[in-house]
Amino acid sequence: MNEGNRVPPGAGTEEAAGAGPTPDGDFELAKPARPTPLHEPDPYSTPPYGEPGPWAPAPPVQHPGTTPTHGTPLPPPAGPHGPTPAFPGAPAPASPAPAVTGGPATAPAPPSAPLPETAPLQGLTAVPEPVVAGAPIPVPLVAPGPAQDPWGRYDPWGRGPLQQAGAVPDGERRNGRRGRRLLVVWTLAVALVASGIGGVVGAYVEREGLGGEVTLPQAGSVPAGRAPDSVAGIAARALPSVVTLHVSGSGEEGTGTGFVLDDRGHILTNNHVVAAAASGGKISATFSDGDSVKATVVGRDSGYDLAVVQVHGVRGLTPLTLGDSDGVRVGDPVVAIGAPFDLANTVTAGIISAKERPITAGGEEGDGSDVSYVDALQTDAPINPGNSGGPLLDSRAHVIGINSAIRSADGGSDTEGGQAGSIGLGFAIPVNQARRVAEELINDGHASHPVIGVTLDMGYTGDGARIDDHSANGGPAVIEGGPGARAGLAPGDLITRVDGERVHTGEELIVKVRAHRPGDRLRLTVEHGGAEREVSLVLGTSEQN
Cα gap 331→354, rounded to integer Å: 8
Cα gap 374→361, rounded to integer Å: 8
Q: Is 325 helix (H, G, I), strand (E, B) or coil?
A: helix
Number of other residues whose CB lies within 10 A of the CB of residue 331: 8
Among the options 353, 388, 404, 422, which is catalytic? 388
499 is catalytic: no
272 is catalytic: yes
Cα gap 273→276, rounded to integer Å: 8
Q: Give the Å distances, CA to CA, from 396 to 320, 321, 325, 430.
A: 11, 9, 13, 16
Burial class (CB in 10 A: 0-12, 13-18, 19+), 390: buried
Maximum C-alpha span of the chain: 200
Residues paired with residue 524 on neighbouring β-strands, in sequence order: 498, 535
SS (H, E, C) 32-65: CCCCCCCCCCCCCCCCCCCCCCCCCCCCCCCCCC
Provide the 8-state DSSP code for 276: G
Among the options 149, 241, 301, 305, which is catalytic? 305
372 is catalytic: no
Cα gap 88→151, rounded to integer Å: 10
Among the options 246, 266, 272, 449, which is catalytic? 272
Q: Which residues are the active-site residues?
A: 272, 305, 388
